[in-house]
Structure 1
Amino acid sequence: MSTIAPARVVLEAAGIRKQFPGVVALDDVSLRLRSGEIQALVGENGAGKSTLIKILTGVYQPDAGSVTIDGAPVRFGSARDALKAGISVVHQEHNLIPQFTVAENILLERIPTRLPQLVDYAAIYREARPWMKTVGLDMPATRSVSALSAAQMQLVEIAKALSLQARILLLDEPTAAITPHETGYLFRVLRELRAQGVAVVFVSHKLEEVFELADRVTVLRDGRNTALDHEIKGLTQDQMVTYMIGRSDVLAQLPARPARGEPVLEVRDLATEAGARGITFSLHRGEILGLYGLVGAGRTELAKAIIGELKVTGGDVLVRGRSARIRDLRDALARHRIGYVSENRKEEGLILLHSVLTNMSITIWRRLRLFGQWIRRSSETAAVMPLVKQLDVRAHSLAQQVGTLSGGNQQKVSLGKWLAADVEILIIDEPTIGIDIKTKNALHELIWNLAANGKAIMVISSDMPEIVRLADRILIMRNHRLVGDISNSHDYEEVSAAIMSRLS
């Protein structure tokens, strides 16, 4: 719902082209942004969103096309030039100094001084407080940023941008790492900024958020506009998906699978050092068991207790009917054929500076060793190559560093290392966080096929549509307790209502 009409166009990019060696990232792309308006910028990974943002903020210069602010042409030679023109960006990965206070981070670009080289701390805290109030940061200005939640860090970034007199605010995936409650608060702040005349560009893969927040949307596909400055009102989600990928049936309901088999993982009255108590459930062969709860409910801690990475203080875990005292993830794999895909793939799931080959074969090195120490490269390649094809990992070669892959391809590599080890039980934490719709669908189909072939899979997710689409049964967790175990009818309205009734 727009709050200012008719609104003035404050920024316009027209006919933007940007080419890198071997690839055209943007081809005749345009964007029009008005004061007091929230415009969504959406598209698949690789569609050109990040390149366009970098051009608007002076990181890249376009090869062709123009950018105007208030009707006057501009050409930014650096990010500082864009800041001076009133354009600020809040990246998905925070650009804050954890050891500094909230106030110091907000005023980092213009620290007040009393004398040369003498910082005026009283002025820092005095000047920061109004900006904190603007974004609803109700805390001491002296608090260290390292003590803040991801959502609070987002608000510090926004306050920092506003303190630099930003009239145009670009937000890149601002809700990727925050809870639904925190997302709701962030949206209230953005609506207030819109009412004050700030122009906001909101980049997101979450279409439900786009429809909730944005006034208009611009869609990119393969570096070109498929929708420009389109009003959200009257637009359907199917139409949006078609603009993004050329078809609307990508996230259609998955077909039925064969009936589940016997239980392979049983958790009985489990208690953990993280505070879980009385956790009881079973996971069957050929089943996808969903575990839903808000961030902080204890889902990841439960998974880590099962695989031995968090201390169990009571109860029992049974694997294929036998009590299993699992020491750690290595033991979970070696003795029980259990794999775990972490929600934090960059820090816990992958070795970013190493190759696709190394990351996907690391779970089977013991099997590949020659004379106890050396690994035969031909055997390693033979084990990994079929999985690369099966998972459709998009890499130049097996030697490519995993850190240079897209998020979706990194997640495929994370899954691939456990498939290489032929695990029987696979726990996947937030399988598609930060991943575009097309890749999300590919991962959903992969998980479905693994279950159809007899794997027992637990999917942990805070994405309710994902849980409803994938799971056969859904466990609901709140405050480190299981508060529900429901059969999934795949009727979204019915199932989501049942879930929320147990979380209220």
Structure 2
Amino acid sequence: MLTVSGVSMSFPGVRALSDASLILNQGEVHALMGENGAGKSTLIKIITGVQKPDGGRIQLDNTEITLANTREAIRLGISAVHQERNLIPAFSVAENIMLEQLPTKGRLVDFDRINREAKQHLQKVGLDVDPSTEVRRLSVAQMQMVEIAKALSHEAKVLLLDEPTASLTSGETEIFFKLVRQLRNHGTAILFVSHKLEEVLSICDRVTVLRDGHTTLMGAPTVGMTRQTLIEAMIGRAERVVEPRVGQPDLGQVKLEAREVSTAKGHAGVNFKLHKGEVLGFYGLVGAGRTELARALIGKDAITAGEVLVDGKPVRIHSIEQAAKRYRMGYVSEDRKFEGVILSHPIRSNVAITVWDRIAGLLGFLTASDERKVAAPLSRQLEIRTPNLEQLVGNLSGGNQQKVSLAKWLAADVDILIIDEPTVGIDIKAKAQIQELIYKLVDNGKSVLLISSDMPEMVALADRILIFHAFRICGEYVNDRRYDNASRAIMSAIHAAQDVVAKH
């Protein structure tokens, strides 16, 4: 169905692809894997007409094609769900889904038909939202489902999925996989990019691996393939085992507390305590209210009742800047592209931004050298893949952008760090680095509030897990690091809460 031969692509200071090749067959799910910065997203952008390669050939149905833009790719039957969302926030869900094929009634857009047809695509991905809702009112995970519904609306022959499950819970992922299998059985050729190795081995028929822009494994069957084989193909060595954390939380010292907190987003009567040296997890399905509560805690959304306490003292936080400077609280947003980093600025500025006032000279002057002194050690610690610190963050891979977003809060040396989906789009090697980093933070007395839709990650990291449903805390699990026990207890609490809501 699709053949990519010897494709190369360079950006300023970066060789993203070098003689990369791929063969995608009709009626298969084909994994494309590699570390952050290996060239996966660049290859997808080339196949979908977002970027033009420096060299190489692309064939569709044995016919060589040259793509002028994304619309040309869609016309030829190539559609994609990109790692970075491509939705228009001010447009409705339905308008975003049907944007390339808006039905008309006479000379006017037929909005009734748009909503009706969009609803059918939303049902395919199991997303229960009003099609007329503005996209900017959705959570990141809901936006991801809208992206998938939009791609399905094109009825593509070739469907490219770049980290499609990154923001989805295990339940939502199962719904999505059922849909992927249906598409495969109907002859769609699906290219699937994911850092979740278990997903790849369960859903994909073959796998191609990129390393430093080169194809190191091409079209190998996944039948009989092991996790270790994949890891070695991606990073050239065995997986690093993360050692369990050393310390335990100081239950006698509460760093952050919520008392009967209600928010403008819909929370009511929320209570929790985050202790010194603790990782406190927030887990729930899409729309449960975890991210919205975190945003209220750092002043991005309004708290309408109750109180928040830091070190036992009531506080009123109105901005992230105030949270950082006055209360030593940081927030790693799940939406790295719009809130986590400044894409048009270099790495050094993005990392040092939280400490500009601290490193500026007597007259407030700030130099690139000052920023590099802050950014260089953190760039090395997190292994941000870049030729130098002058590289614009917009030219980095999504996973390396996530590392930059995390590095700026490490630079700030905050006492309380809220981390929302820390490993979305992160490769297996970087995932281990971030897990070790979180362990190190709490062992050094920092406190971490962790939001993750990745249950294995949550079970591996959190000391306690608060379970959310419908903007309420419906349960608490004291983590014993046993996945089966935790998974059973968490999902039982969610199902019980769903039953209560259904009865009312």
Aligned residue for 2:8?
18
Is 1:169 equivalent to 2:159 in the alignment? yes
Offset at 1:498? 2.3
State the distance in 2 between where 1:144 and 1:279 align: 27
Q: Does 1:246 align with 2:236?
A: yes
Cα separation, partners in 2 of 1:413 and 1:264, compared to 1, 3 Å: farther
Q: Tell me whether 414-423 or 380-389 shows the greater mean CA deviation.
A: 380-389
Greater mean alpha carbon deviation, residues 463-472 or residues 364-373? 364-373
Could you say which residue in structure 2 is the equivalent of 1:153?
A: 146
Q: CA deviation at 1:430?
A: 1.3
What's the offset of the Cα at 1:105?
A: 6.1
Q: Report if the CA contact (8 A) 2:279-2:442 is conserved.
A: yes
Contact 1:161 1:169 in 2 (8 A): no
1:49 to 9, 27, 40: 40
The worse-fitting range, judged by mean Cα deviation, of 133-142 and 180-189 is 133-142
- Cα distance per residue 1:309-355 (max 9 Å; x no partner): 43334444333333334444333323322222222223223333333
Supply the AA of the counterpart residue of 1:224.
H
Residue 419 (structure 2) aligns with: 428
Q: Could you tell me how far 1:301 is from its partner in structure 2? A: 2.5
CA shift for structure 1 position 49:
2.0
Aligned to 2:278: 287
Structure 2 residue aligned with 1:90: 81
Give the aligned residue type for 1:487.
V
Q: Partner amino acid for 2:246?
A: R
In 1, the alpha carbon distance for the partners of 2:82 and 2:476 equals 37
Candidates 476, 479, 483, aligned match of 1:488: 479
- The answer (yes or no) to whether the contact 1:76–1:82 under 8 Å persists in 2 is no
- One of 382, 393, 407 as aligned partner of 1:416: 407
* 1:362 CA drift (Å): 2.9
Change (3 A) 1:377 1:497: same
Change (3 A) 1:59 1:376: closer
Larger radius of gyration: 1
Q: In 2, distance between residues paired with 1:144 and 1:487?
A: 37
What does the per-residue CA deviation read over 1:348-381, in whole Å, with 9 as the maximum and x for residues that have no partner? 2333333333333333333344456444665555
- Cα distance in 2 for residues equivalent to 1:46 and 1:11: 23
Change (3 A) 1:259 1:156: closer
Which whole-Å CA distance do the structure 2 matches of 1:139 and 1:284 have between them? 36
Q: TM-score of the superposition, structure 1-length normalised?
A: 0.82
Could you say which residue in structure 1 is the equivalent of 2:498?
none
Over 3 Å counting, the alpha-carbon distance change for 1:98 and 1:375 in structure 2 is: closer
Residue 340 (structure 2) pairs with residue 349 (structure 1): yes
Change (3 A) 1:309 1:125: closer
Distance, in Å, in 2 between the alignment partners of 1:485 and 1:314 is 22
Q: 1:112 to 1:463 in 2, by over 3 A?
A: closer
What is the match of residue 219 of structure 1? 209
Q: Alpha-carbon deviation of 1:85?
A: 4.2
CA contact (8 A) 1:290 1:473 kept: yes
Mapping of 1:28-47 within 5 angstroms? 28-47=19-38
Q: Which amino acid aligns with 1:89?
A: A
Query: How much has 1:472 moved relative to structure 2?
Result: 2.4
CA gap 1:66/1:383 in 2 versus in 1, 3 angstroms: closer
**Does structure 2 conserve the Cα–Cα contact (< 8 Å) formed by 1:101 and 1:142?**
yes
Residue 501 of structure 2 corresponds to which residue in structure 1? none
Q: CA deviation at 1:471?
A: 1.9
Preserved CA contact (<8 Å) 1:36 1:199: yes
Conservation of the 8 A alpha-carbon contact between 1:17 and 1:26 = yes
Q: Deviations over 1:157-211 (max 9, x none)?
A: 224422xxx3222222223344544443333333222222222222222333323
CA distance in structure 2 between the partners assigned to 1:127 and 1:142 by the alignment? 9
Q: 1:236 to 1:184 in 2, by over 3 A?
A: same
Give, in angstroms, the shift of residue 153 of structure 1. Answer: 2.5
Change (3 A) 1:400 1:98: closer
Q: Distance in 2 between matches of 1:469 and 1:109?
A: 42
1:102–1:310 distance in 2 versus 1, CA, 3 Å: closer
Contact 1:94/1:157, CA 8 A, preserved across alignment: no
- Which residue does the alignment assign to 1:231? 221
1:201 aligns with 2:186: no
The alignment partner of 2:154 has SS state of helix
Distance 1:104 1:463, change over 3 A: closer
- 1:253–1:469 CA contact under 8 A, matched in 2: no
Corresponding letter in the other structure for 1:484: G
Three-state SS of the structure 2 residue aligned to 1:170 is: strand
1:190 aligns with 2:183: no
Distance in 2 (alpha carbons) for counterparts of 1:287 and 1:301:
21
Aligned match for 2:248, one of 239, 259, 277: 259
Please show how residues 59-458 of structure 1 align to structure 2 within 5 Å.
66-70=57-61, 72-79=62-69, 82-83=73-74, 85-95=76-86, 119=107, 121=109, 133=120, 136=123, 143=132, 146=135, 149-151=142-144, 153-162=146-155, 166-250=156-240, 252-261=241-250, 262-273=252-263, 274-371=265-362, 373-375=364-366, 379-458=370-449
Q: Figure out how many residues of one structure are paired with residues of the other and give that number.
A: 485
Q: Which amino acid aligns with 1:293?
A: G
Higher mean displacement: 346-355 or 105-114: 105-114
How far is 1:88 from its partner?
A: 3.1
Aligned mates of 1:34, 1:129 — CA distance in 2: 33
Change (3 A) 1:140 1:209: closer
Give me the whole-angstrom Cα distance separating, in 2, the residues matched to 1:48 and 1:379.
Answer: 31
Structure 1 CA distance, aligned partners of 2:7 and 2:46?
10
Letter in 2 for 1:169: L
Report the 3-state secondary structure (helix = DSSP H, G, I; strand = E; otherwise coil) of the residue aligned with 2:266.
coil
Where does structure 2 lack aligned partners over 5 or more consecutive residues?
496-504
- With 171-180 and 453-462 compared, the bigger mean Cα shift is at 171-180
Change (3 A) 1:497 1:395: same
Q: Scaled by the length of structure 2, what TM-score is found?
A: 0.82
Matched AA of 1:184: E
Judge which range, 80-89 or 424-433, deviates more.
80-89
The CA distance in 1 between the partners of 2:278 and 2:97, in whole Å, is 49
Distance 1:259 1:128, change over 3 A: closer
Q: Map Cα deviations across residues 416-451 of structure 1 (whole Å, 9 max, x no partner).
A: 333333222211111121222222222222222122
Q: Distance in 2 between matches of 1:45 and 1:108?
A: 31
Runs of at least 5 residues in structure 1 that lack an aligned partner in the other structure: 1-9
In 2, the alpha carbon distance for the partners of 1:127 and 1:302 equals 33
Shift of 1:464: 1.0
